[in-house]
Amino acid sequence: EVQVVESGGGLVKPGGSLRLSCVGSGFTFSSYAMSWIRQAPGKGLEWVSSISSSNSYIYHADSVKGRFTISRDNANNALYLQMNSLSVDDTAIYYCARVDGLGWIDPWGQGALVTVSS
Amino acid sequence: EIVLTQSPGTLSLSPGERATLSCRASQTLRSNSLAWYQQKPGQAPCLLIYGASSRATGIPDRFSGSGSGTDFSLTISRLETEDFAVYYCQQYGDSPYTFGQGTKLEIK
């Protein structure tokens, strides 16, 4: 079964840091671009960060640029999101996602809840 | 950045009825680079349609996608109870990839 599983969510104070992890299984992880997509409570979907299969292309949304860093370890089928200088606006469910084909998302992880609050 | 506008915001229908959801792009999408997702409460989104009209693996044939250029639609031919959810469109024709704001399909 093709799946991605996130870990590392939790409660953090404003200005703090958190690192999300994601492990892929059931597919050749090193052949696919991967992304992080978030959803604030009661809101829609926001594309946060993407990384190409070989690390040659990285994208960060303007809302997180300079604070978040996406990375991957193909040897361990792992994807990461280092989040620094967190604010309450970063409170959301963060989904790890495989970028399939030309750019659609399949599958999605179950999500990791990040809550930024004092 | 390509902006996707979904309409209506909320659609109220009864089981057995036909649903048509719209997604309009602010620019022409290359190669019909549009996907649709379904999200049920408390769950992650799941892929329904890619390439504007190709059904993902395991998706029932009551779901169909159509359109080209800037105007796209998702049609559910005969609504079943489990189809009531939020639906999002996503474009992948131009970076950054973007999502529409969603259409909530609710039971009337």
CA dihedral B81, B82, B83, B88 (to 10 degrees): 150
Q: Name the interface residues of B facing A (CB cutoff 8 Å).
A: 31, 33, 35, 37, 44-47, 50-51, 56, 88, 90, 92-93, 95-102
Angle CA B52–B78–B71, to nearest 5: 25
Pick from A105, A108, A110 the residue to mutate for testing the B interface (most B CBs within 10 Å).
A105
Nearest CA in chain B to A45: B99
Residue A111 touches chain B, beta carbons under 8 Å: yes
The answer, yes or no, to whether the previous bond of B8 is cis (omega within 30 of 0) is yes
* Residues B12-46: tens digit of each pLDDT: 999 999 999 999 999 999 889 999 999 999 999 99
Q: Which amino acid is at A72?
A: R
Would you give per-residue pLDDT tens digits along chain A (118 residues)? 999 999 999 999 999 999 999 999 999 999 999 999 999 999 999 999 999 999 999 999 999 999 999 999 999 999 999 999 999 999 999 999 999 888 999 999 999 999 999 9
Phi, psi of A74, deg, nearest 5 = -65, -30
Q: Could B50 and A104 be called an inter-chain contact, meaning their C-beta atoms sit closer than 8 Å?
A: yes
Residue A108 touches chain B, beta carbons under 8 Å: yes
What single-letter DSSP state applies at residue B69?
A: T
